[in-house]
């Protein structure tokens, strides 16, 4: 007897969740991050990672136990943790005599390492040290990048892309002005990236647009660039590849100018204007001179026909 292949649908919540994880999505959800502690950590780097954890909420998980891992020596344990927790981003904190107060930002592609950047935390001031009102929970931050290095230096350009992945929340198309509460500023200068966090205050002004003031709320730190491990250009392009369903198809003969105005081009074949019926309107009737000229042409044509015959 032939074997009948039946598709058994999952009946439990766990089974449905496992299938949802495996099935690819055209539009990805906000990327989850995993915070990992190294074998040795200092109080400064622990507090800094907790502040990053608060900024990344709710798209972040924290591992409580310490792990004997050296990411730049062997990244395999982190790849296993990332795959197990379904978190493509990770933050690794460690501390030793050679590299004190060390923080590593990294991301994976298809459960293998893509990019990784190591920083030393200097001039750190935590969220608790700023005695000012904080932002609302789960607010999407505005990311601001200052400095020519982000545009001219290839390494800093990739770090910028990594930081956008790390702190970006859900992508939204429309937002109201009152929903803009938080700004994360990254300034590249002298081999450092200065991290600053501000709360947006909307003040009264003489116009309809409110006056904007920034109040620093923390955390504040200077990230000293130490080491990087970046993916090749081919692998990076592959990770940025969009599915065919999301690609916008180009329409022929349609263009837009700098102001967003759409222009269309229509191709029309050659037309015999003399054969078009245009006498239905009184204003388009032939004039007396045109009628005399037409009679003259018809009489000459008739004379030519008779002469030939």
Domain borders along the chain are 29-231
Give the pLDDT confidence score for residue 1 in this predicted structure.
47
Residue 185's pLDDT band (cuts 50, 70, 90): very high
Residue 94 confidence class, pLDDT cut points 50, 70, 90: very high
- pLDDT, position 17: 65
pLDDT at 298: 84
Rounded alpha-carbon distances, angstroms, from residue 96 to 32, 35, 180, 267, 280: 28, 18, 39, 71, 94
> For the chain, percent helix, then strand, then coil, each to nearest 5?
30, 30, 40
Domain at 29-231: CATH code? 3.40.50.10480
Q: Could you write out the DSSP letters of every residue in 3-42?
A: PP-------SHHHHHHHHHHS--SS--PPPEEEEE-SS--
Reply yes or no: is the peptide bond before residue 219 cis, omega within 30 of 0. Answer: yes
CA terminus-to-terminus distance, the chain: 92
Q: What is the DSSP string of 178-229?
A: GG--EEEEEEEETTEEEEEEEEEEEE--SSSSPEEEEEE-S-EEEEEEEEEE
- Average pLDDT, stretch 141-151? 92
Best mean pLDDT range from 20-24, 174-178, 296-300: 296-300
For the entire predicted model, the pTM comes to 0.73
Is the pLDDT at 284 greater than 50, yes or no? yes
**Average confidence (pLDDT) over 181-191:** 92
pLDDT (mean) for 188-198: 93
- What is the tens place of the pLDDT at every residue in 13-55? 776 666 555 556 666 777 899 999 999 999 999 999 999 999 8
Q: List pLDDT tens digits, range 202-256.
A: 888 888 888 888 999 989 999 999 999 999 999 988 888 877 777 777 778 888 8
């Amino acid at each position: 007897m032939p074997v009948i292949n039946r598709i058994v649908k999952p009946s439990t919540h766990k089974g449905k969740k496992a299938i949802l994880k495996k099935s690819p999505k055209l539009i990805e959800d906000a990327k989850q991050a995993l915070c990992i502690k190294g074998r040795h950590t200092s109080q400064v780097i622990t507090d800094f990672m907790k502040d990053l954890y608060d900024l990344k909420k709710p798209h972040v998980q924290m591992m409580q136990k310490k792990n004997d891992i050296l990411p730049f020596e062997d990244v395999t344990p982190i790849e296993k943790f990332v795959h197990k927790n379904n978190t493509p981003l990770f933050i690794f904190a460690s501390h030793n005599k050679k590299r004190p107060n060390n923080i590593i930002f990294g991301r994976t592609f298809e459960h293998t390492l893509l990019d990784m950047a190591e920083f030393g935390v200097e001039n750190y001031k935590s969220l608790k040290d700023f005695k000012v009102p904080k932002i609302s929970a789960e607010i999407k931050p505005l990311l601001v990048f200052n400095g020519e290095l982000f545009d001219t230096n290839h390494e800093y350009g990739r770090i910028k892309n990594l930081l956008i992945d790390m702190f970006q929340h859900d992508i939204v198309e429309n937002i109201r002005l009152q929903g803009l509460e938080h700004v994360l500023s990254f300034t590249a200068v002298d081999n450092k990236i200065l991290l600053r966090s501000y709360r947006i205050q909307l003040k009264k002004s003489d116009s309809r647009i409110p006056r904007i003031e920034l109040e620093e709320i923390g955390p504040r730190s200077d990230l000293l660039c130490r080491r990087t491990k970046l993916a090749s250009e081919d692998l990076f392009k592959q990770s940025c590849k969009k599915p065919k369903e999301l690609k916008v198809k180009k329409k022929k003969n349609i263009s837009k100018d700098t102001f967003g105005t759409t222009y269309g081009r229509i191709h029309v074949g050659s037309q015999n204007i003399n054969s078009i019926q245009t006498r239905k309107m009184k204003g388009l009737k032939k004039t007396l001179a045109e009628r005399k000229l037409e009679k003259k042409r018809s009489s000459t044509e008739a004379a030519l026909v008779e002469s030939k015959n």
